[in-house]
């Protein structure tokens, strides 16, 4: 029993669409790069990065920074550095307010209303106290 020309074309098209769909799914659903492996775009104090991002927030989207500063507040999910940078921690840390730290994180945006820079996937590199 042989297939007609129309059936062969339909079957071939189905297989091609199936392969393209699978490749697309794998590309879209891949996990994000871990922060430890990403290259640092800026290294300095929290005030320096805040001033740079405040001038051009869109140019800093998704950049990894290594910053140092003083913890001014903290909650269950993160901490604030120098009252103007909120850092979502990758994992829970036992830290205290007024502690000087250095951390690595990814910039996710600048909030004009609160005048606050937001970072995620933050990991503490070093405690100075």
Per-residue confidence in pLDDT tens, the chain, 129 aa: 577 889 999 999 999 999 999 999 999 998 877 888 889 999 999 999 999 998 888 889 989 999 999 999 999 889 999 999 999 998 888 888 999 999 999 999 999 898 999 999 999 987 765
Tracing tokens 């790069």 back to the chain, one arrives at 33
Look at phi and psi of residue 16 and say left if phi exceeds 0, alpha if psi is from -120 to 50, else beta. alpha
Give yes or no for a contact between 119 and 90, defined as CB atoms under 8 angstroms apart.
no
The two structure tokens encoding residue 103: 């951390």
Q: pTM to 2 decimals? A: 0.74
| Residue 117 CB burial class (10 angstroms; 0-12, 13-18, ≥19) | buried
């Amino acid at each position: 029993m042989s297939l007609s020309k129309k059936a062969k074309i339909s079957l071939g098209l189905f297989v091609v669409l199936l392969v393209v769909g699978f490749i697309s799914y794998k590309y879209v659903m891949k996990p994000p790069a871990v922060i430890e492996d990403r290259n640092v775009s800026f290294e300095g104090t929290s005030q320096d990065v805040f001033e740079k991002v405040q001038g051009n927030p869109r140019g800093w989207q998704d950049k990894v920074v290594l910053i140092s500063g003083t913890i001014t507040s903290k909650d269950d999910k993160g901490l604030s550095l120098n009252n103007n940078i909120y850092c979502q921690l990758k994992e829970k840390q036992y830290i205290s307010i007024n502690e000087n730290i250095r951390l690595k994180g990814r910039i996710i945006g600048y909030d004009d209303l609160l005048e606050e820079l937001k970072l995620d996937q933050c990991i503490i590199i070093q405690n100075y106290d």
